[in-house]
């Protein structure tokens, strides 16, 4: 078993309330990503799990064993928690070569030398740094050091692996390769992974579950698909969209089986059992907007503000009337003169509706 449970965890730094009543369950085999903007408490959450920080209140269990009890002030020492941690600052031993840094954990287990060599070379090969094995950390780039730190953490095939922005120093291509490698590793070893990032694409591509934080509060824990398609809170919708999700103010009323919305997009009925009534915000995904150069039935006339080709897709900024700007993402190349009129349509059932007052998803 490698299950981690946090219950009612609260952490303060001076008078600042950093983690607020955190409840989180990380099941065995989860690839759980802690996602949120800078300063929201992701790293602090990892640090209280590992024992590098002690929370003032709450319970933490690892494999059903209590490691933190805020009430009795019991805090198991980090070494007793059986966790492997890779921080963004990689903390390699400077006097050891890459090989020795990675081999260290296996040597502590008194593994035969030949087996150590096989495992270390395999880990270095996976991280694409085998050719650097005789170098010292000071002779490596930041990205290379980061990969040594990951190799060192995975070589012992830990049951639980905690990673804090482990790919932040890699270039885009290498980062993509390492994401695939970590995802494969997770599947092969069935390791429970807790992964910290503020990069929503990284979270969406690798995780089995995403926990979204804002200002020390856990706002949503769901599968990547749910977090992307149905953000529970407008802050999550704003953070997760790539490119940004379009928000449109609307007045909303239930009409039986649908919500009638009145906005700059006209009157639109959104299929929904919700009985929400009042001021709302409609969230419309750029990839759900279809553009036509000819008038189409129930299409909304827009003016092309700018066209941003991005290889396999094109981003189009559109103006609706004088106030509303929308972003549409279209597959392939699209030749549209700036200033020309186009007509947009979108599937009403793909629109999420948020209460303007609470920011919560109502449909």
> Is 55 near ligand ATP (CB under 6 A)?
no
Using the minimum distance from each CB to ligand ATP, give the nearer residue, 38 or 72. 38
- Beta carbon of residue 53, minimum distance to ligand ATP (angstroms, whole number): 7
Query: What is the token pair recorded at 33?
Result: 């990503």
C-alpha to C-alpha distance for 302 and 336, rounded to whole angstroms? 12
| Count of other CB atoms within 10 angstroms of residue 261 | 23
CB 327, CB 247: distance < 8 Å: no
> Is 48 near ligand ATP (CB under 6 A)?
no
Who contacts 310 (Cβ-Cβ below 8 Å, separation ≥6)?
none
Using the minimum distance from each CB to ligand ATP, give the nearer residue, 22 or 361. 22
- Beta carbon of residue 18, minimum distance to ligand ATP (angstroms, whole number): 4
C-alpha to C-alpha distance for 363 and 257, rounded to whole angstroms? 11
> Is 18 near ligand ATP (CB under 6 A)?
yes
> Is 13 near ligand ATP (CB under 6 A)?
yes
Residue of 102, 105, 106 whose CA lies nearest to 125: 102
- Beta carbon of residue 181, minimum distance to ligand ATP (angstroms, whole number): 22
Using the minimum distance from each CB to ligand ATP, give the nearer residue, 18 or 103. 18
CA dihedral 63, 68, 69, 70 (to 10 degrees): -150
Using the minimum distance from each CB to ligand ATP, give the nearer residue, 13 or 93. 13
Residue of 216, 240, 221, 248 whose CA lies nearest to 56: 216
C-alpha to C-alpha distance for 293 and 310, rounded to whole angstroms? 20
C-alpha to C-alpha distance for 70 and 56, rounded to whole angstroms? 6
DSSP letter, residue 284: E
Beta bridge partner(s), residue 308: 315
Using the minimum distance from each CB to ligand ATP, give the nearer residue, 42 or 152. 42
* Axis crossing angle, helix 172-189 with helix 142-154, rounded to the nearest 10: 0
- Beta carbon of residue 242, minimum distance to ligand ATP (angstroms, whole number): 17
- Beta carbon of residue 78, minimum distance to ligand ATP (angstroms, whole number): 16
Using the minimum distance from each CB to ligand ATP, give the nearer residue, 133 or 198. 198
Contact string (CB under 6 A) for ligand ATP, positions 26-45, x = contact: ----------x-xxxxxxx-
- Beta carbon of residue 17, minimum distance to ligand ATP (angstroms, whole number): 10
> Is 162 near ligand ATP (CB under 6 A)?
no
- Beta carbon of residue 100, minimum distance to ligand ATP (angstroms, whole number): 29
- Beta carbon of residue 38, minimum distance to ligand ATP (angstroms, whole number): 3
C-alpha to C-alpha distance for 95 and 92, rounded to whole angstroms? 9
Using the minimum distance from each CB to ligand ATP, give the nearer residue, 38 or 109. 38
Return the residues of window 191-220 that contact ligand ATP according to CB under 6 A.
Answer: 198
Contact string (CB under 6 A) for ligand ATP, positions 218-247, x = contact: ------------------------------
Using the minimum distance from each CB to ligand ATP, give the nearer residue, 68 or 318. 68
Query: What is the token pair recorded at 74?
Result: 């019991």
Residue of 288, 303, 283 whose CA lies nearest to 343: 303
Binding residues (CB under 6 A) for ligand ATP: these are 13, 18, 36, 38-44, 198
């Amino acid at each position: 078993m490698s299950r981690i449970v946090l219950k009612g965890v609260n952490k303060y730094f001076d008078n600042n309330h950093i983690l607020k009543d955190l409840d989180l369950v990380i099941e065995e085999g989860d690839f759980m990503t802690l996602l949120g903007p800078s300063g929201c408490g992701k790293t602090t959450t990892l640090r209280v799990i590992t024992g590098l920080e002690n929370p003032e209140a709450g319970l933490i269990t690892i494999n059903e064993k209590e490691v933190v009890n805020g009430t009795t002030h019991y805090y198991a020492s980090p070494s007793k928690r059986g966790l492997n941690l890779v921080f963004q600052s990689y903390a390699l031993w400077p006097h050891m070569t890459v090989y020795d840094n990675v081999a260290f954990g296996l040597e502590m287990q008194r593994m035969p030398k030949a087996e150590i060599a096989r495992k270390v070379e395999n880990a270095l090969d996976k991280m694409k740094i085998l050719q650097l094995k005789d170098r010292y950390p000071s002779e490596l780039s930041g990205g290379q050091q980061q990969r040594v730190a990951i190799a060192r953490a995975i070589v012992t095939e830990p049951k639980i692996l905690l990673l804090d922005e482990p790919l932040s120093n890699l270039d885009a291509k290498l980062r993509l390769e390492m994401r695939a490698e970590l995802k494969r590793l997770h599947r092969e070893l069935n390791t429970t992974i807790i992964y910290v990032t503020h990069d929503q694409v990284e979270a969406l591509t690798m995780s089995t579950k995403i926990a979204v934080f804002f200002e020390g509060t856990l706002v949503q824990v769901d599968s990547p698909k749910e977090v992307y398609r149905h953000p529970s809170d407008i802050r999550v919708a704003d953070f997760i969209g790539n490119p940004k999700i379009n928000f449109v103010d609307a007045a909303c009323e239930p009409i039986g089986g649908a919500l009638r919305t009145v906005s700059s997009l006209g009157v639109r009925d959104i299929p929904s059992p919700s009985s929400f009534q009042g001021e709302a915000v409609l969230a419309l995904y750029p990839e759900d907007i279809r553009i036509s150069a000819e008038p189409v039935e129930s299409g909304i006339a827009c003016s092309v503000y700018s066209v941003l080709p991005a290889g396999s897709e094109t981003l189009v900024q559109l103006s609706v009337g004088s106030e509303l700007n929308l972003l549409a993402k279209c597959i392939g190349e699209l030749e549209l003169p700036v200033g020309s009129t186009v007509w947009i349509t979108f599937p009403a059932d793909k629109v999420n509706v948020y209460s303007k007052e609470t920011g919560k998803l109502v449909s």
